[in-house]
Structure 1
Amino acid sequence: MRIALIEPDLRHAEIVGRLLFAGGHACHHFSASAPFLAGAAREFFDLLVTDAFCGDAAAEDVIARVREVLPGLPVVVLMTSPRESELVATLQAGADDCLAKPARGPEMLARIDALMRRAGIRRPRNRAREMFGEYAFDAGRSVVSFRGQSVALTPKELQFALLLFTNMSRAVSRAHILETVWSRRRDVKSRTLDTHASRIRTKLELRPEFGYTLVPLYGYGYRLDQIPVEKADGADKAPANERFVETL
């Protein structure tokens, strides 16, 4: 899961980053809200964890601006010995949860997991078999079965496809894809990702006539959509003598 962290205290940011990494998350640190907001306009994040003071603004003010850029983004605010009135004000400003600072690993990870469940954030699960409608993913054999056939994928194609199916109808950024499939390698060329997307589209027959479209989002990433399958011409038309019925 991609988690953004706004923390002016570099020492505490390092601690939180290590805790999140230990919990299986990718942490992207920002020392203030301005660079985060600039990055959020083009990046994909599942969650924002921020200090009560973001280095250049209070968390209450930043939350409103965040929701303009990334609507629905869950926000957790870190607070040092807050008074009840401060907690209430932060939650009323739109925070989804508040955590004591310095962060305590097990509690923070448990609260983040609970928040993600409530928010419906989707990420590929670590299971040998996954089902998405008629598509059955067998990670152990790197095979996908659908419509009476089985297709072999490369490990990276399988991870890419799982990420798309897990986030059906949700835009997935290139950064998120690279981070999930290529482990954040910076030497992966853009056309490599596009080539894999094209192969997945072909191998899994993600075409409108089969009820799916894999859409490239210019400058951002990809989105897999499930769409209604159009009926053959005339299949949904009534006979000519039954199209118009006069009622009295």
Structure 2
Amino acid sequence: MRIALIEPDLQHAKLVDRLVFAGGHVCQHFTTSSTFLQHAKDEFFDLLITESWAGDHCAEDVIPRARSILPGLPVMMMIRAPRESQIVAALHAGADDCVSKPVRGPEMLARIEALQRRAGLRRPANRRRDTISGYSFDAAGFAVSFRDLTVVLTPKEFRLALLLFNNLARPVSRAHILETVWLRRRDVKSRTIDTHASRVRSKLQLRPELGYSLVPVYGYGYQLDAVPLEGIAGAG
């Protein structure tokens, strides 16, 4: 399931992101509702998790705007030390569920699964794939389409590629890669991650001359960046 997270608190966003990935879902983080709403016009999300203050607007105002773009979108609202009146107001505003902040792992994943069952995950026919920066990810077949090409990856390569694209222009630590791709296994060697990164780079043609750069971050992990083709042409 593809989940959009609106959370201005970066530390708490990292916590939610780890929990969501541990549950087998993909999380895309936004610090404001405006950036989420812009992405929602082109990308499909199965669930929206939002802080009661969505960075630039109250969540109560964001919910109807989100559903005007993605009809029937399930929404979970996070509220710090919620009072009964706040929960009632959130539910009346259209939230499907509320959780206390900071979130608790097993409870949050159980609530996500409940919303998933309730919603049935009925995607529009024209939004069966997740498209990020020109790359279309088909989780059913572990296939990625780009520039009129379709490449089939292994499950781990697919999860690594999706993780990198969901963190475009941000470094991803080896620890995070292990948690999301290898599900926290401790016996995975560092060179195994490097091998998978090299395969993803080759199969998805992540080269500067084609608009992307996937490079190791010394002592940390990997980072995927978009490279302006105009700058490359100008330099030549």
TM-score where L is the length of structure 2: 0.58
The residue that corresponds to 2:224 in the other structure is: none
Q: How does 1:129-208 map to 2 (within 5 A)?
A: 169=125, 171-175=127-131, 178=137, 180=139, 189-193=146-150
> Residues 49-60 of structure 1 correspond to what in structure 2 (within 5 A)?
49-60=49-60
Structure 2 unaligned regions, length at least 5: 153-236
Amino acid corresponding to residue 110 of structure 2 in structure 1:
A
Structure 1 outlier segments of 4+, above 4 Å: 167-170, 181-185
Deviation by residue 1:159-192 (Cα, 9 ceiling, x = unmatched): xxxxxxxx6956313528515268697xx52312
Q: Give % identity.
A: 54
Distance (whole Å) between structure 2 residues aligned to residue 172 and residue 18 of structure 1: 25
1:26-41 mapped onto 2 (5 Å cutoff): 26-41=26-41
Give the CA deviation at 1:85.
1.0
What's the Cα RMSD here? Answer: 2.4
Q: Map of 1:232-247 to 2, 5 A cutoff?
A: none
Distance 2:33 2:138 in 1: 23
User: In the aligned structure 1, how far is the partner of 2:38 from the partner of 2:8?
Assistant: 17
Deviation readout 1:13-47 (Å, 9 max, x if unpaired): 00000000000000000000000000000001000
Q: Which has the higher contact order (CA 8 A, sep 6+)?
A: 2
* 5+ residue gaps, structure 1: 123-166, 197-248
Q: Distance in 2 between matches of 1:63 and 1:34?
A: 12
Query: Structure 1's 183 and 36: CA in aligned 2 closer, same or farther, altered over 3 A?
Result: farther
Asked whether the equivalents of residues 129 and 138 of structure 2 are also in contact (C-alpha less than 8 Å), the reply is no
Q: Which amino acid aligns with 2:54?
A: C
Residues 43 and 127, structure 2, Cα contact 8 Å, conserved in 1: no
Assess, with a 3 A threshold, how the Cα gap between structure 1 residues 52 and 184 changes in structure 2: closer, same or farther: farther
CA 1:171–1:54: 2 relative to 1, 3 Å: same
- 2: CA distance, partners of 1:174 / 1:20: 17
Please give the alpha-carbon distance, in whole angstroms, between the structure 1 residues aligned to 2:79 and 2:124: 35
The alpha-carbon distance between structure 1 residues 58 and 117, as it changes in their structure 2 partners (threshold 3 A), is same
Offset at residue 83 of structure 1 (A): 1.2
Q: Could you give the per-residue CA deviations for residues 40-63 of structure 1, whole angstroms, max 9, x where no partner exists?
A: 000010000000100101100000
Q: State the match for 1:120 in structure 2.
A: 120
Post-superposition shift, 1:115?
0.8
TM-score by length of 1: 0.55
Aligned equivalent of 1:91: 91
1:18 lines up with 2:23 in the alignment: no
Question: Greater helix percent: which structure?
Answer: 2
Matches of 1:168 and 1:66, distance apart in 2: 15
For the residues of structure 1 that align with 2:98 and 2:128, how far apart are their CA atoms?
27
Structure 1 position 74 matched with structure 2 position 74: yes
Look at both structures and tell me which one has the larger radius of gyration over its CA atoms. Answer: 1
